[in-house]
Amino acid sequence: GAGVSQSPSNKVTEKGKDVELRCDPISGHTALYWYRQRLGQGLEFLIYFQGNSAPDKSGLPSDRFSAERTGESVSTLTIQRTQQEDSAVYLCASSVAGGMSTEAFFGQGTRLTVV
């Protein structure tokens, strides 16, 4: 596939459970971003990976949230002990960071519902 792929597309989980969301970026894209979009809201930055540099975790809302990236490929966002306020669409994007061409390509998102 040529685009950013996210899985699952939908996830319903019980409060208190852990969830893992997966993102497959576009091949060759060194930068990867996770955003959260609550219903009717804007895109809230969570975490940024760029090559082998230490990730920018400044947007993670609590220590229940963590993310990993294997090299310049797949990333996993993990939410532990989910709460109802975690319900949102989680969007992943990738880009060829560097210079002035930094278009971020988004996946379709994972809709997380915590019940």
Do the Cβ atoms of 94 and 74 come closer than 8 Å? no
State the DSSP string of 50-100.
ETTSPPB-TT--STTEEEEE-TTS-EEEEE-S--GGG-EEEEEEEE--STT
Contact criterion met (CB below 8 Å) for 46 and 67: yes
Q: How far is the CB of 115 from other proteins (least distance, A)?
A: 21
**Binding positions for other proteins, rule: CB under 8 A:** 4, 31, 33, 35, 41-43, 45, 48, 50, 56, 91, 93, 95, 97-100, 102-109
Of residues 20 and 56, the one with the C-beta less far from other proteins: 56
Give min distance, CB of 16 to other proteins, in A. 28
Q: What is the DSSP letter of 9?
A: S
CB of 15 to other proteins, least distance (A): 25
* Residue matched to tokens 């893992």: 20
Q: Toward other proteins, which CB reaches closer, 49 or 114?
A: 49
Give 74 or 104: the residue with its C-beta nearer to other proteins: 104
